[in-house]
Structure 1
Amino acid sequence: MGLCLTKNQGDEDDSEQHVEFAAGNVGLVTTKEGWEQKLSEASRDGKTVIANFSATWCGPCRMIAPFYCELSEKHPSLMFLVVDVDELTEFSSSWDIKATPTFFFLRDGQQVDKLVGANKPELQKKITAVLDSAVHCQK
């Protein structure tokens, strides 16, 4: 299972790398206000949020980013977000991020599940479970 624990010192920040992290239907969160806005949007629309806390320098984050984007296109009933832990350091710390990538599954702003690491089968499994539980909630 891939995950990054520390940032390599001396790496230059390259904002162009965000493009691959926020492709498809993935929303890039760059401010706490933007986060709040997306969560209230999701609550209003009855969507579950999947938030990917990652970093551009993290190999496993880059490895799973295209898959995450693909999932966002397959499941428009969910809201996919990405948060750069280096851009929103304080905010990420409030979520107790110990490693990247860390995925949080939120319904009405409340955490319903969590996945640490770039584990594609597990991410797919958790998304399927979230979709199944949403269907059961609507019945």
Structure 2
Amino acid sequence: MDSTRKYTAEAPPLQEVQQTRGPLVLEFGTSWCGHCRAAQPYINEAFTSGPDLPHHKIEDGKGRPLGRAFRVKQWPTLIFLRDGEEVERLVRPADSASITRAMARIEQN
């Protein structure tokens, strides 16, 4: 999945996310967030070298229902799900290895 694309304002509905079978990664942030921009090299490296998993880059902010449903407080926040259930969460990742490990956890469960 191409993790270099921009955050999208169109998020899937919570019910759809909860009903997703298999692995799924939700990345919450914004294009103007300095922490989000700083984490992109790590996120890109993990998604380029790791397993090919579904990955949604979702623009977050006040009143965005999906981010509120997952209680996102800081950006970027990566939520790793398996069969609609949260397995792991990384907030402001500082390396690609932690992202790759989380990806492996949801892929193998």
Tell me the TM-score normalised to structure 1 length: 0.59
- 2 CA distance for matches of 1:88 and 1:127? 30
Task: Mark the structure with the bigger radius of gyration.
Answer: 1
SS in 1 for 2:54: strand
Residue matched to 1:100: 75
- 1 CA distance for matches of 2:106 and 2:53? 12
Judging changes above 3 Å, is the alpha-carbon distance between structure 1 residues 128 and 51 closer, same or farther for their aligned structure 2 residues?
A: same
Structure 1 unpaired stretches of 5+: 1-20
Residue matched to 2:98: 125
Judging changes above 3 Å, is the alpha-carbon distance between structure 1 residues 103 and 36 closer, same or farther for their aligned structure 2 residues?
A: same
Percent of residue pairs bearing the same amino acid type: 22
Higher helix share: 1
Tell me the TM-score normalised to structure 2 length: 0.72
Residue matched to 1:23: 4
Aligned length: 107
Which amino acid in the other structure matches residue 90 of structure 2?
L
Q: Please state if 1:58 is matched with 2:38.
A: no
Residue matched to 2:49: 74
